[in-house]
Amino acid sequence: MGIGLRRVLVTGSDGFVGRALCARLADTGAPVRCALMDPLEKADAHDQAAIEILQPLECTTVGDIGPSTDWAGALDGVDAVIHLAGRAHVLHETASDPLSEYRRTNAQGTERLAGSAVSAGVRRLVFISSIGVHGTVSGNAPFTEDTGINPDKDYAVSKWEAECALRQIAETSGLEVVVIRPPLVYGPWVRGNFVRLLGWAYKGVPLPLGGVRNQRSFIGLDNLVDVLIRCVASPAAAGQTFVVSDGEDVSTAGLIRRIAKGLGRPSRLIAFPEAPLRLAARLLGRGVDAERLFGSLTVDSGKVRRVLGWAPPVSLDEGIRRMCAWYLETRHGW
Quick one: how many helices (H) and strands (E) in the chain?
13, 9
Give 149's DSSP letter. Answer: P
Alpha carbon distance 194, 199 (integer Å): 9
Radius of gyration of the chain (CA): 20
Alpha carbon distance 156, 288 (integer Å): 13
Alpha carbon distance 238, 231 (integer Å): 8
Q: Is 155 a catalytic residue?
A: yes
Kindly state the helix (H) or strand (E) to which residue 224 belongs, with its residue range.
helix 221-233
Alpha carbon distance 252, 300 (integer Å): 19
Catalytic residue among 155, 186, 202, 327: 155
Residue 235 neighbours by CB under 8 Å, 6+ apart: none
**Following DSSP, what letter does each residue of 128-197 receive, concatenated?**
E--GGGG-S--TTS-B-TTSPP---SHHHHHHHHHHHHHHHHHHHH--EEEEEE--EEESTT--HHHHHH
Alpha carbon distance 107, 224 (integer Å): 22
Catalytic residue ranges: 155
